[in-house]
Structure 1
Amino acid sequence: MSDLPYMQERWFEVLKTACAERGVTTVAAELGFSNHTGTSRVLSGRYGNTERFAARVLARLDTVNCPHTGANEARALCHAQFAAEPPTHNPYRLAHWHACRRCAHRPEIES
């Protein structure tokens, strides 16, 4: 396997873990590909520009189980919920916002 810079990024680790757990063909289908060729090429370092592929991996595979809703949510949406202003107009969304403040999945606050 080549040691390309993208192989050190978070999305690549998420992809490798998912493929190890569920198989390349299953993960390719979850990403919306009809076959596993593209995913295999990314894993082996023989894929061109990986920017769009990385975005798809993060959107579809990098999920957390939300303790408040009980659903798997994309980590990016989870972080956006955490960073948002409190939604004072809706009691359920406000409760969700408060739950994000106590959640183990919350992003680290940078100093």
Structure 2
Amino acid sequence: MVTRFGMSNIGPIALEEESNGQVFLGGNMNQDSVYPESVADRIDDEVCKIVNYCEQKALQIILDNRVIIDLVVERLLDIETMDGDEFRELLSTYTILPDKNSAYVSKLT
């Protein structure tokens, strides 16, 4: 996101070519950077900001939903498995669920 699409405070610039293979997709880690070390440091900072933000967001979601998470855990400890309908029924005791036929839910499935 940061180097290929310019999605950071560094600016809307691409610092990586699209043909530059990602390591986890068979790319090569030994490719030389086409930007100076100072830019590499800024990239590292931006990536750290994104990762830290996502971690904080995930923790907040867990904290906001802790009650239902604990209910699901207790239920799974009792019955070991739960299908979607059972999960939705349990969840509906905690919050209002969107209608299965709503446009929003239809877009997700």
| Greater relative contact order (Cα < 8 A, sep 6+) | 1
Structure having the larger proportion of residues in strand: 1
Please give the TM-score of this superposition, normalised by the length of structure 2.
0.24
Please give the TM-score of this superposition, normalised by the length of structure 1.
0.24
